[in-house]
Amino acid sequence: MSEAAAAGRPVMGIGACLAGKAVRYNGQTKSPNDHVRGLAEAFELRSFCPEMGIGMGVPRAPIHLVGIPGKVRALDVETHSRDYTDQLAGYAGTVLELAPELCGYILVKGSPSCGYDRVKRFADNGYGIASDLQGVFAAALAKADPLLPLEDDGRLNDPGLRESFVTRAYAYHDWKQVCSSGLSAHTLIGFYSRYKYLVMAHHVPGYQKLGRLVADAGKQPLQPLAAEFIGEFMASLTQRATLRSHTNVLFHLAGYLKRTVPAAERQRLKDLIEQYRLGHIPLVVPLTMLKHHFANNPNAYIEGQVFMSPYPDELKLRNLI
Ligand code: SF4
């Protein structure tokens, strides 16, 4: 286990060129955007360059993707005589072996090795046909660990995708921590108990299915149950939370204050939630008011809810309208 993982800080993989290393085919780096830079504060970044990793060196002949879907190869642009496909795909397994603690990976937009999607595809004669592929390494990484959250630097410009990515990465890190401490029916139930409202905000059918799965903990063999659970859990968090779904959760949480907070203050909170539902204020506003009330009226169950703080507040992902 790396020092960062041991310290409990989530470890995020990143394309080495985005992390400031001069590893591109021409010996250059790729400038990370502000959003990628911002994530460096919340994660321990661990960089990998698949093309360097398979010994292509720098500078090197550039490669591109050639062929028809299902039979695409990563070939050198100049001659199409050198095929790097299998080695680049195999490097995904190397990355997961070198860093089993990874909780997410920031890919590199447009790269034939590291692109998340819409990577250019070329015909044998070198003409561009379409932009409809994942990079070879990226596709292999997604296949080797389907739970691992993936995005690229371009897609992270989208606030919704960015928030979803960070939420899933922190949750996956949490799951790995629970597993490394020894998974049992008890810890599985405890894990889901903390995530109930976060999952509800993302996907109500997933929330219901996960509830049924967890109810079987202790009655069914643990490993297959846990595998089904975490697959469904990560898939549920992949669904985008909306104003409506967040509002639903906020009202559920406000319900816990019924007996402890005076009616006038609860009405003020309700008004803020309504303002949020209408899109007039960001999520952080009613949430801050909720946190204030729960600070004055502690509730251990709500305190443990990941929904209240799924990632460091400094990322300000809940401050946008
Ligand atoms: S995109 Fe990937 S393969 Fe290309 S230089 Fe960056 S890290 Fe290396």
116 near 24, Cβ under 8 Å?
Answer: no
Residue with the two structure tokens 């507040």: 313
83 near 74, Cβ under 8 Å?
Answer: yes
What pLDDT was estimated at residue 95? 98
What pLDDT was estimated at residue 6? 46
Asked which of 30-44, 191-205, 261-275 is least confident by mean pLDDT, the reply is 30-44
CA of 23 to the centre of ligand 1 (A): 7
Predicted confidence (pLDDT) at residue 278 exceeds the cutoff of 90:
yes
Q: What single string gives the DSSP state of each residue in 164-215?
A: HHHHHHHHHHHHHHHHHTT--HHHHHHHHHHHHHHHHHH-HHHHHHHHHHHH
Question: CB neighbours of 106 closer than 8 A, spacing ≥ 6?
Answer: 12, 13, 14, 15, 18, 36, 39, 45, 151, 152, 153, 156
What is the pLDDT averaged over residues 56-84? Answer: 96
What is the pLDDT averaged over residues 12-28? Answer: 97
Token couple for 191 = 């894990």
Q: Whose CA is nearest to atom 4 of ligand 1?
A: 24
What pLDDT was estimated at residue 214? 97
Token couple for 244 = 């409506």
What pLDDT was estimated at residue 8? 64
* Model confidence pLDDT, tens digit, residues 90-99: 999 999 999 9
> Confidence class of residue 7 from pLDDT cuts 50, 70 and 90?
low
CA of 5 to the centre of ligand 1 (A): 24
> Ligand 1 pocket check: which of 56, 111, 116, 152 to mutate, most ligand atoms within 8 Å of Cβ?
111
Backbone torsion region of residue 117, taken as left when φ is above 0, otherwise alpha when ψ lies between -120 and 50, otherwise beta: beta
User: Residue 34's CB: how many other CB atoms inside 10 A?
Assistant: 9
What pLDDT was estimated at residue 41? 86
Question: How would you classify the pairing of strands 44-48 and 11-15?
Answer: parallel
What pLDDT was estimated at residue 4? 45
What is the pLDDT averaged over residues 278-301? Answer: 97
What pLDDT was estimated at residue 321? 80
CB-count exposure of residue 318 (10 Å: 0-12, 13-18, 19+): middle
Q: Which pTM value belongs to this model?
A: 0.95
* Model confidence pLDDT, tens digit, residues 111-170: 999 999 999 999 999 999 999 999 999 999 999 999 999 999 999 999 999 999 999 999
Predicted confidence (pLDDT) at residue 3 exceeds the cutoff of 90:
no
Backbone angles phi, psi at 110, to 5 degrees: 80, -5
Average per-residue pLDDT for the chain: 95
Q: Whose CA is nearest to atom 6 of ligand 1?
A: 17
What is the pLDDT averaged over residues 278-289? Answer: 97
